[in-house]
Amino acid sequence: MSCPYTEQEIGAYLDGELDLTSSLQLERHLGTCEACSRALARQRALHEAIGEAGLRFRPSPELARNLRRASGAGLAAGRWASWPRLQAIAALLLVAVASWSLGRVWPPRPGPDLTDEVVASHVRSLLAGHPADVASTDRHTVKPWFTGKLDYSPVVVDLAGRGFPLTGGRLDYVGRHPVAALVYRADRHVINLFTWPDAYTSGGSGPGLAAASRQGFHVLHWSRAGMTYWTVSDASEESLRRFAGLLNSP
């Protein structure tokens, strides 16, 4: 069986370095390819092990990547943990620990980039063809649907009169937590609004809007009354800012 992906590409995927289309293609492939799934699982396990070791010393992202890549024999060779590989890992670990011992301080790694996560969730919801698990324009239907599915109750606001009709909600998984995704529309554009308690992701950005864009999607992020909000859409930035402003007004 021939496989189009290399260990490097799987590593790049894990590092969030692939573009959206390539990521989605690889994810689709992972569903059907046991070798790549195993390679991903192994790289991820090592990634986590390095992360835990990072509590004691901080490997640079480049070193972390080298460690992961060193741990994987080429997919084509099909040798997963040959002795020379293990020696290479041991040598790299020694270098890492030695660097740490010398008091070298690497810059702290940033937390998981939620911007990428919410954009990926937004795109997946569109690709899946059903952005909502509960399809309703009535917030009195959407809000109770989350009861028992989450350990908090999302704030669901009706903005139909302001040009942003609610169309439903679904459960999603962001920042290692199940979260509420509320689906609105701005004309024909789908807007996803993710919301969860600030404590899930160690605080929000405060009441001000933080803006970003990825692959043509606009992302806004704010925090209000102990809840964190992220909204994503391919609607115009102006339109999305108006939407966020309505939710974030006193």
Residues near Zn ion, by CB under 5 A: 3, 33, 36
Name the residue nearer to Zn ion (CB basis): 33 or 191. 33
Name the residue nearer to Zn ion (CB basis): 33 or 96. 33
Our CA angle for 149, 155, 159, nearest 5°, is 125
- Provide, rounded to whole angstroms, the least separation between the CB of residue 10 and Zn ion: 9
Residue showing the smallest CB distance to Zn ion in the complex: 33
- Provide, rounded to whole angstroms, the least separation between the CB of residue 2 and Zn ion: 9
Checking DSSP bridges between strand 189-197 and strand 210-214, what pairing results, if any? unpaired
Name the residue nearer to Zn ion (CB basis): 30 or 93. 30
- Provide, rounded to whole angstroms, the least separation between the CB of residue 45 and Zn ion: 18
- Provide, rounded to whole angstroms, the least separation between the CB of residue 99 and Zn ion: 34
State how far the Cα of 35 lies from the Cα of 199, in Å rounded to an integer.
37
Report the half-sphere exposure of 36 (CA within 13 A, side-chain side).
21
Q: Where are the alpha helices (DSSP H) in 54-199?
A: 61-71, 83-101, 114-127, 139-145
- Provide, rounded to whole angstroms, the least separation between the CB of residue 41 and Zn ion: 13
State how far the Cα of 183 lies from the Cα of 167, in Å rounded to an integer.
6
State how far the Cα of 141 lies from the Cα of 204, in Å rounded to an integer.
28
Q: How far is CA 197 from CA 61, 155, 171, 178, in A?
A: 30, 11, 15, 11
Name the residue nearer to Zn ion (CB basis): 36 or 92. 36
State how far the Cα of 61 lies from the Cα of 179, in Å rounded to an integer.
29
State how far the Cα of 31 lies from the Cα of 34, in Å rounded to an integer.
8
- Provide, rounded to whole angstroms, the least separation between the CB of residue 63 and Zn ion: 26
Name the residue nearer to Zn ion (CB basis): 3 or 90. 3
Name the residue nearer to Zn ion (CB basis): 29 or 224. 29
